[in-house]
Structure 1
Amino acid sequence: MTDSQPLLAHLIELRTRLVRALIGLGLMFLGLFHWSGDIYHLLAKPLMQVLPAGAHMIATDVTTPFFVPMKVTMMVAFVLALPNTLYQIWAFVAPGLYAHEKRLIVPLIISSVLLFITGMAFAYFLVFPVVFGFMSAVTPEGVSMMTDIDNYLSFVLGMFIAFGITFEVPVVVVLLVRFGIVDIAKLKEARPYVIVGAFIVAAVVTPPDVLSQVMLAVPLWLLFELGVVVAGWIGKSETTRANAKDAA
């Protein structure tokens, strides 16, 4: 019975944190519900701007005009509720962490969120206009470019996830170095392979035009370089701190 008490307490705490995270997400969604149509129009703007005059998107299912704006609103609510969600995760795991782990995890969580949102913004403001402009330009004469709004949402979400994850590269590099999986010298030696891999990844996850592939591959490479710099800086800071402690 004694052994089961800590486990039961952890499960209760986990349930409490999950409920609070879901409540935060639900409240954010309810707060945005009234503007779901406006939020969808904002998401559709990059495509609508490049469509020919009089062209529009279509809905091929009866319930699509209702559910697609709801999905978009839920996505926005999830992003806006991330601070609360991450706080609940932090409150659950923090008691089991050492002081040095807390010092590492807090900035990593904050930077991960900011980098993911930056990746989404990069896709929306820079990549989408280029991709949709290219698709509109290559549409054969006599063909109307009118995509289904559900297909459009799936494409946009896929691109958001691809660019959001891509922008997490510095965090991954820092973690690999921090936990001794690879060192800075090896990362620098692997630079040519990283560049080639960046273009391969870009070719897989982006539409088949060279410009959009370059717009993903180049940031991926630069973010890798940023991760190497940050990992080296953290390593030097920890070495300096350790030397100062030994000297004391």
Structure 2
Amino acid sequence: MTVDTAVFFHAHPDDEAIFTGGTMMALAEAGVGVTLVFATGGELGGDDPQMASIRRTETEWSAGVLGVTDVRWLGFRDSGMTLPPRAGSPQEGTDQSAEGFANQNVASAAAALGRVLDDVGAGCVVGYDEVGIYGHPDHVAVHRVAHAAATLVGCPTVYEATVDREYLHFVESHLVEEAHRSVDLGLVNSMLGTPSVEIDLTVEVAAQLARKRAAMAAHSSQVPAHSSAMRLARADFGDVYGLEWYRRSGPRSLLDGLSSARAGW
């Protein structure tokens, strides 16, 4: 067990490659331990009844490309792309995804993640920003659970994966922008990502970019060959996916040690 381990906590398979794939590779290349944890199996990511199995297989391929050998699953259910009814509303208790991760007790979910943090001796945990990057209810839950788990076990630093809202105005469309338009925004902040001035760390992943693209392509049920990301020319793909952004709560930690990392942008 070592405190030189970064735990990346993601909502669904494919999130790891899109938002943090380059960072995970850079850490592994630098000799830092990387543990990848998924809250759900992404069961609702398509109509195939074997979707959970498909997405696990895709994750094995993606993790292999990323150089990650420690992959863990908390076993919660995918909540889908809509939020549960607001507490106290007439619709409360009618949600079809009541077993979904977004509806779970934060303390219980944090205890499950906390056991992983303890097991690997995590020096930091990576979750999402407070709007879950783009408003998906499972992503918002990741934010809450990551912070609660870190507090529970005394993990000093939480990084929040995000996107630079202003930077994305100047490049080709990012998959997260398409996902943002697909989410039921009736109960969530309609803003995407984080303003540039509030980003604590930008990691340049040019050296990892070809493998990041391959890791994204491994999730072909979610990022098929005809998707906007996979159709991008090499230079345009680098413009859109060659940077990974984070907010930080707590002291500087493992991600700040990457040679390509810079504060802000």
TM class by shorter chain equals under 0.3
TM-score, normalised relative to structure 1: 0.28
TM-score, normalised relative to structure 2: 0.27
Q: Which has the larger radius of gyration?
A: 1
Structure with bigger RCO (C-alpha 8 Å, 6+ apart): 2
Which structure is higher in helix share?
A: 1
